[in-house]
Structure 1
Amino acid sequence: MGKALFITGTGTDIGKTYVTGLIVKKLRDAGLRAGYYKAALSGAETLADGTLLPGDALHVAHTAGLAPEDAAVSYIYRDAVSPHLAAQIEGRPMDFDKVEQDFHTAKERMDYLTVEGSGGIICPLRWDNEEHVILDDLALRLGLSALVVADAGLGTINAAVLTAEHLKMRGIPLKGFIFNNWTGGTMQEDNVKMVEALTGAPVLARVEHGDAALPMAADALAALYD
């Protein structure tokens, strides 16, 4: 059975899927058996025949050169809202026994499985009369350590530190941060310094807009997986 790492973000639309694609690509370019898994994807494109396209998984598969079966998603929802609400709208709540089974199936196929979360770490996955589950519950159930994607710009100190504090409170190991939309300059360099000082976790890579490769050594990246 392979190793796995959980990718979460400080919020939505900060480039988590884009960075995840670069992560998987870096491992595969180094000759490692690397794959992708996501428990729930909402906001899928709907084809004329009603088929839902898992955009995030397709992006990662295209970026990293994955076969479709190596970029698995357990639940695909149409509406571009939090998975718990998308599930309520469609009447298809997540079954976390199925999620765990799908995760282990994907993990057995790969040496390095990258597990992408939905939104930020407190994103609700199921919220009904039977279960209340948020994203950190899933990370705990699957026994995963976290790597956090954050925007490099203004506001990231607050968002990154709050995410790190929540992970610490729930007992989820934090491997570090990747800063997306890196342009450099005094403010962003200070963001790195302050986030590292306030969380005790390193900023492992700085990704510029349009980067086609993760600026991080493949062996250092692989060492993050448990």
Structure 2
Amino acid sequence: MSKNLFITGTGTEVGKTYITGLITKRLKDAGKNAGYYKAAVSGNRRDLDNRLIPGDALAVRSMSGLQEEVENMVSYVYEAEVSPHLAAKIEGNPVCMEVVKRDFQKNSSKYDYLTLEGSGGIVCPIRYDERSLWLVDIIHEFETPCLIVADAGLGTINSVVLTVEYMRSKNIEIKGIIFNNYHPRNIMEEDNIKMIEEVTGIDVISKVQRGDRELKIELDKLIALYK
């Protein structure tokens, strides 16, 4: 069975998929047996055969060189560009935890290192009807430590600290923070890093510039994040 790491973010569109692709590529390039899994993804497009394609899984596969079929990397694929719980209501296909557990276990049995990607930010409803399922429930189910992805720019102190405090209130293990869209020698972004590390006590373990194709982190440090 695999060692696992869950990638969450301070909100939607902060670059979770991009960072997940870089992480998976770093492991693959080092010869590690690495895989990817996501429970639910919304806002997807159809191919020429009218099949919904899980865009995040496709992006990670393209970046990392994974050979897995994208259909095996995501359990629930929705077309509506809304939160998974609402997309499920619109499309009549609610997330079932038993399916998520089954698909996670299949991927876990194939790989030594499995990177799981969340949907949206950490406070994300995955299902909300007669049953309630939140992103934190999936994290707790698989007992995965987490890595937070945040934008390096203005407002990130607030969003990161709030994310950290919420995760701590839910007893979620936080392994580190990765800044995306980082600009070297930018005084505000450097101060953001300093303030976040001092206020939260959590290390910013990597800083990713736009267009980076490699994750700047030592391999043993990356592997140590997985549990």
TM-score (ref. length: structure 1):
0.97
Q: Which amino acid aligns with 1:53?
A: I
Work out whether 1:183 is the aligned partner of 2:180.
Answer: no
Question: After TM superposition, which residue ranges in structure 1, 4 or more long, deviate above 6 angstroms?
Answer: none
> What is the Cα deviation at residue 132 of structure 1?
1.2
Q: CA RMSD in A?
A: 1.0
Q: Deviations over 1:45-79 (max 9, x none)?
A: 11343200111000000100011337610000001
Q: Give the equivalent residue in structure 2 for 1:136.
A: 136
Partner amino acid, structure 2, of 1:109:
K
Instruction: Kindly provide the CA deviation profile for residues 105-158 of structure 1, in whole angstroms up to 9, marking residues without a partner as x.
Output: 1011101000000010011100002x1111111111111110000000000000
Q: SS at 1:118's partner residue?
A: coil
- Partners of 1:80 and 1:218 lie apart in 2 by 35
Partner of 2:162: 162
- Aligned match of 2:50: 50
SS at match of 2:178: strand
Q: Which structure 1 residue ranges, 5 or more long, are not aligned?
A: none
Secondary structure in 1 matching 2:119: strand
Gaps of 5+ in 2: none
Determine whether 1:106 maps to 2:107.
yes
* Identity rate, percent: 52
Q: Which amino acid aligns with 1:94?
A: V
Whole-angstrom CA distance in 2 between matches of 1:142 and 1:2? 11
Is 1:125 matched up with 2:123?
Answer: no
The secondary structure found in structure 2 opposite 1:23 is: helix
In the alignment of these two chains, the number of paired residues is 225
CA distance in 2 between partners of 1:47 and 1:88 (Å): 23
Quote the offset at 1:164 in angstroms.
0.6
